Amino acid sequence: MQELEKLKQELKKLNAEATKIREVAVEKRAKFGRKLNAQKQEILARITEAEKRALDVEVLPLDVTAWSGVNEPMPELYTTLQGSKHPLMMELDRVTEIYQLMGFEVEESRQLDDEFHMFDSLNFAKDHPARDGYDTFRTEEGLIPPAHTSTMQHRVLKKYKKCLDEGGQIAVVVPGRVYRNEDVDATHEHTFYQCEGVYVSKECNMGQMLGILKEFFEKYYGQKLNIRTQPGYFPFTEPSLEFMIEKPKSLGGKKGDFLEMLGCGMIHPNVLRMAGIDPSEYHGFAWGGGIDRLVMLRYGLSDVRHFESGNLNFLREFGQ
Ligand code: DAH
């Protein structure tokens, strides 16, 4: 900084010197001017350099884990620990990696969406009571923080339609944060994570879908699993199913202890049609389920509220 000040002083002096040009003999003025100008250019270049250097030194990288309670002594925790990935984000990486190894692309969902993607594009009839079942929040502008990752189905179908035109298939998973306006308790959060899956090809069927899902859950929990399905209802799939796994013994389960893990089904022809895909030529299946629940079972957690609590003792148990 001192260097910069000094240079600026020099520049001032030079500028003062330049005003004396009128006192210089006419035949010497050109030479005088050229000399001053050269000096000025050099100082200006040095000032630019010094300013750049000053910026490098002064702009420190932002440490988002830094202690921010300026009026309180810094707890030892902050001086001895670095931040780490949130357990849900760690597990989301695991989830998407399994799907990627199975050949799925990954698309991220959004945090704010609209009525069309939340309902219309998913074959929810106007004024159908199923719309109320999603306990959606709304902004004053009428936008919707998505209540499920299915809001991305229409976009994914449109974006990847070219894969069908080229003779391939659509195989995409969409992890995302979702929001529901419901009372919070040990098993319900207003903010949680889901992962959606979308598959479309000329020939595909429910058996393949169940195979993919079984494979996914077995990879995630690292063991063979018994699965079960029961009929469900979603306007965007026909038929619709609820997919369950038997809680493994190693995770405290007893025989016949089935847990519902996600909703799934064959994509409704209207959903394909709205995205410009001919349902007489192509078929698809889709599924969507909560990540929080998946992770809770893996780690034996009984209260979903831990995830959004910011409780450092909880988070430290997962620190990498
Ligand atoms: N979006 C549904 C929910 O949050 C879950 C779901 C059901 C997703 C069926 C799907 C599906 O893709 O095909 O309740």
Q: Are 102 and 215 in contact (CB under 8 A)?
A: yes
Predicted local distance difference test score (pLDDT) of residue 60: 62
The number of beta carbons lying within 10 Å of the beta carbon of residue 288 is 24
> CA angle at residue 31 from 28 to 34, to 5 degrees?
145
Please provide the average confidence, as pLDDT, over all residues in the chain: 91
87-316 under CATH 3.30.930.10, yes or no: yes
> If you measure from the C-alpha of residue 96 to the centroid of ligand 1, how many angstroms do you get, rounded to a whole number?
17
Predicted local distance difference test score (pLDDT) of residue 253: 92
Ligand 1: atom nearest CA of 198 is 12
Predicted local distance difference test score (pLDDT) of residue 319: 66
Q: What is the mean pLDDT of residues 252-266?
A: 96
Render 280-305 in DSSP notation, one character per residue.
TT-EEEEEEEEHHHHHHHHHT---TT
Question: Pick from 172, 285, 202: which is nearest to 239 by CA?
Answer: 285
Domain parsing of the chain, residue ranges:
2-59, 87-316
Residues 160-202 pLDDT 10s? 999 999 999 999 999 999 999 989 999 999 999 999 999 999 9
> If you measure from the C-alpha of residue 289 to the centroid of ligand 1, how many angstroms do you get, rounded to a whole number?
7
Q: Which residues line ligand 1 (CB under 6 A)?
A: 148, 150, 196, 234, 236-237, 240, 263-265, 286-288
